Amino acid sequence: MSNAITISGATYTISGTVKKDKKGVLDLHVEVYDKDIIEDDFLGIGVTDASGTFSISFDSSKFSNLFDRKPDLYFVVIDYGMELLSTKKQVINNATETTPPINLIVDKLNEKTRDLINETPVSGWLGGFGTPDPSTLPMLENMDNIDLLERQQKVVWPEFSWDSEPGTDEPKRCFQMFAPDISRLGYTNEGRVYSIICPQQGYASEHFGSINIEVTVTGNRGWADEPNKEIGADIKVTGKIWFAPGSHDRKLVKLIKAYFTLHNLPFPGDKDHAIEVQTFKPGFPKVEAFPLVSGQCKEFAIPEFAQHKEISWSVGSLGVQIGAIKQTGVEKVDKFNKLVLEIFNMAGGNMLKEGNILYWNVWFTAPEEVDQAKWQEHAEYWRASIQVDHGAPDGDGTKARYFDGTPFKPLKNLAIHELPKILEYIKEHVTTDIEAKV
């Protein structure tokens, strides 16, 4: 039997299995930590294969110091954002090459997400539309042809990536799977694409509550080729930010919203009145359409924990560069929108900072039939349902991580940084106006 831990120089490699009902489970994340008196050290993350086997390598510098020469290990098993198991109370003290095999047992899975997985394409595929250059097709309004949709591919695993510190000498790229089954590719039995729904995410602000963001598709043109598991499409999008329903009860949100309503000013209280951020093809500010292509992004290396090769049916990718926030022409509104975007970027690691490029790999489950009425309802259902402080309908996705798996942590004491900005806005644009009329 092979060792659970091997040591080569300063590199530790831990191998083990995760099983449920004596069977290995595919595509689980396994985190390993070194238990410390003050703060536990994150050491690494592995992904299980079909047999439930995982392997995690890390450098001894992540845990060793004058008083801690050997790691005290514990594991956390996660299934698409849902914690299944923690062995924090069963620490492996002073782990070495003589440590017994690591066999982790879970008694549940994230059924909400796993029930979305379709392994075999439904019948009905005809083909025949071909694989033309998408630019030769007319750009269609994204929700105008729902009655033509017959087939769909659900994006169960929307994996995003962005630079959390754009403009610095060393990019700090983050990777995160957004909530599953928001994005979908819809097309005919012949393969003509007529609608694409893109992913959505939420971030929590201490004083504003849940703030939602969606890269909303406004136009599309393209095709799907099921036999070859290929897609080719151009899409036009705009970034939209709005307050989730639950955030409307926050005191500061209620105050500003009431003021905006009193003065007939637009408030981003739902997706239809969202703050809009302009987007364009990376490197081409005047090109609004950009390609959705087969395969993963090739612009950078992708960590194992952000891939789903064994469990997905196929994968596509695209990139979008963030432009300026759209102005309304009303100073109070534009400054408030800028404030919301700034707070969102503090919480979300500069995801929508002007000039940043947001990439995503969309991992599809096998094609299914489209229920046209449900397709129409889908976007509305999600925009009303996702709330980062209460969860999302089909699972919450994963936490943001750097390439080595280290969890991304937004600005420390975010609430302390955001409150002065909010109060300054209220003082300058709300209180002053009220005082002037008294």
Q: Which two tokens stand for residue 83?
A: 């914690």
CB 113 within 8 A of CB 79: yes
pLDDT of residue 382: 56
Q: What pLDDT shows up at residue 395?
A: 55
- Same domain as 306, residue 384: yes
Looking at the structure, do residues 216 and 285 belong to the same domain, yes or no?
A: yes
Contact assessment for residue 194 and residue 149, using Cβ atoms and an 8 Å cutoff: yes
Rounded mean pLDDT, 29-56: 95
> Tens of pLDDT along 424-433?
999 888 876 5
Residue 254 confidence class, pLDDT cut points 50, 70, 90: very high
Q: How many CB atoms are located within 10 Å of the residue 82 CB?
A: 16
Query: What is the amino acid identity at position 208?
Result: F
- For the residues 188-202, what does the mean pLDDT come to? 88
* Alpha carbons 396 and 158: distance in angstroms, whole number: 11
Confidence band, pLDDT 50/70/90 cuts, at residue 256: very high
Average pLDDT rounded to a whole number, residues 374-392:
58
User: Is 402 found in the same domain as 326?
Assistant: yes
Question: Does 18 share its domain with 121?
Answer: no
Q: Please indicate, yes or no, if residue 431 is contained in any of the structural domains.
A: no
Same domain membership, residue 140 and residue 194? yes
What is the domain extent for residue 105?
A: 5-109
Instruction: Quote the pLDDT of residue 61.
Output: 86
* Domain termination site, one of 67, 83, 109: 109
- Count of domains for the chain: 2
Supply the mean pLDDT for the chain. Answer: 89
Model-level pTM? 0.89
Is 433 or 229 the better-scoring residue by pLDDT? 229
pLDDT at 430: 84
Q: What is the pLDDT of residues 46-63, one digit of tens each?
A: 999 999 999 999 998 888
Looking at the structure, do residues 371 and 250 belong to the same domain, yes or no? yes
